[in-house]
Amino acid sequence: MSWTEERIEKLKSLWGSGKTAAEIAEELGGVTRNAVIGKANRLGLSAKSSTTAAPKAKKKVVPAHRACQWPIGHPGEPDFHFCSDESVPGKPYCLKHCNMAYQSRDNN
Ligand SMILES: [Zn+2]
């Protein structure tokens, strides 16, 4: 199936209404939840949750104790959460996610 103008408009309005990607996929029919998320990302619909920004930007919603702030899943999804392992002193992430964060930065 393809993303027609009509389907894209429907995706936008459903997304804006706060439905989950799974619910939107069901409403549209013929698409998977992942396809909906991928399309929404390309349309910039999830920008309000700053999926494109560095994970560091999420600092404000993390509790004061030292928990890894690496986001897991997609903001707005029911299963979205932070890693929450104990972070490396002076870093926002646990050792594993520090490695991932600083490695990908080097590669870019
Ligand atoms: Zn982590």
pLDDT for the residue numbered 53? 47
Residues bordering ligand 1, an ion, CB closer than 5 Å: 68, 70, 83, 85, 94, 97
pLDDT tens digits, one per residue of 3-53 = 999 999 999 999 999 899 999 999 999 999 999 999 999 999 865 554 444
Q: How far, in Å, is the centroid of ligand 1 from the Cα of 71?
A: 8
pTM of the predicted protein model: 0.42
> Hey, where are the domains in the chain?
5-49, 55-107
Q: How far, in Å, is the centroid of ligand 1 from the Cα of 108?
A: 21
Residue 59 pLDDT > 70, yes or no? no
Residue 86 pLDDT > 80, yes or no? yes
Of the chain, the end-to-end C-alpha distance in Å amounts to 34
Q: What is the 3-state secondary structure (H, E, C) of 66-97?
A: CECCCEECCCCCCCCEECCCECCCCCCCCHHH
pLDDT for the residue numbered 102? 81
Contact predicate 56/92, CB 8 Å? yes
Q: How far, in Å, is the centroid of ligand 1 from the Cα of 56?
A: 12
Q: How does strand 81-82 pair with strand 71-72?
A: antiparallel
Q: How far, in Å, is the centroid of ligand 1 from the Cα of 93?
A: 5
